[in-house]
Amino acid sequence: MGKTIVKIIGLWIVIKSILNIALEFNLWNVLGLFFCVIIMYLFNLKVPYSNYIVAIVLVFAAGKNFWHNITHIQIIYLTEAVIDILCACLLMANKSVREYFAKL
């Protein structure tokens, strides 16, 4: 079950990055896609603690523009932020995910 959750979260991260490129094409979004592919690779290798590192980055990314998105009612970005926070919670707190990264 942990492997499935990790793969879904990795896929979400890549899809989110592609969506960001479609909404606003710039160098940072393209680099973001590159890093998302690296994250998927690290998840596939089951690199220890990579789940915690990615969770922290997801929460930071969600919180960075959260107030702006609320005040300007940008639903797509608010939805993205909520999904990011849920993914971060799963990466850090789900027992199956933690076991997936603990097994080498």
pLDDT grade for 104, boundaries at 50, 70 and 90: low
d(C-alpha 43, C-alpha 21), whole Å: 23
Task: From residue 104, give the alpha-carbon distance in Å to each of 24, 39, 65.
Answer: 39, 17, 36
pLDDT in tens, 5-24: 999 999 999 999 998 899 88
Model pTM score: 0.87
Cβ–Cβ contacts within 10 Å for residue 52, how many?
Answer: 14
**pLDDT the model gives residue 67:** 83
Joined tokens for residue 40: 């998927």
Task: From residue 101, give the alpha-carbon distance in Å to each of 3, 6, 17.
Answer: 9, 10, 24
